[in-house]
Every structure is written in structure tokens, then in C-alpha cells.
Amino acid sequence: LDKNKNNTEWEQWTIGSYEAFRSHRYATEHWWLGIKKNGRPKSGPKTAWGQKAIQFLIIGHS
């Protein structure tokens, strides 16, 4: 494993006005990128479609 290589492929999904992300590698497991209320990452197996923990707003920058 090369730590300097960014080899994670992400899938981006839309939930209403929010965006959700999941690793392409674990897509069949239905694991989503999630953040708990305390700011720590949420374990993939404990995430599910529609949870607030996986909903992100995309903020544009200039």
C-alpha cells in the first residue's frame, strides 16, 4: 500500500438538496461516509441511506 497515492474512488449521490458519498470499493456493502455529532467518523457498517450523519452540503468556493 502506497500511503502517498490517493487511490480511493468515491461515488457521489444526491439526497434532496444534500450529497452523500461512499467508497466505490465498499459500495456493495452499502457503507456510506458519515460523521457523528461529536465530529468523529461513523463506522461504515453503522451508516445507512437517509441518515443525517451521511448528508453533506456542498459549499462552493471562489
pLDDT of 56: 95
pLDDT at residue 20 in the model? 95
Residue 2 has pLDDT above 80, yes or no: no
DSSP for 4-62 reads TS----EEEEEETTEEEEEESTTGGGT----B-TTSPBPPGGG--TT-GGG-B------
HSE at residue 6, side-chain half, CA atoms within 13 A, is 2
pLDDT band at 60 (very low <50, low <70, confident <90, very high): confident
Question: Tens digit of pLDDT for each residue in 14-49?
Answer: 989 999 999 888 889 999 999 999 999 999 999 999
> What is the band of 4 on the pLDDT scale with cuts at 50, 70, 90?
low
- Is the distance from CB of 55 to CB of 18 less than 8 angstroms? yes
Compute the chain's Rg from CA coordinates. 13
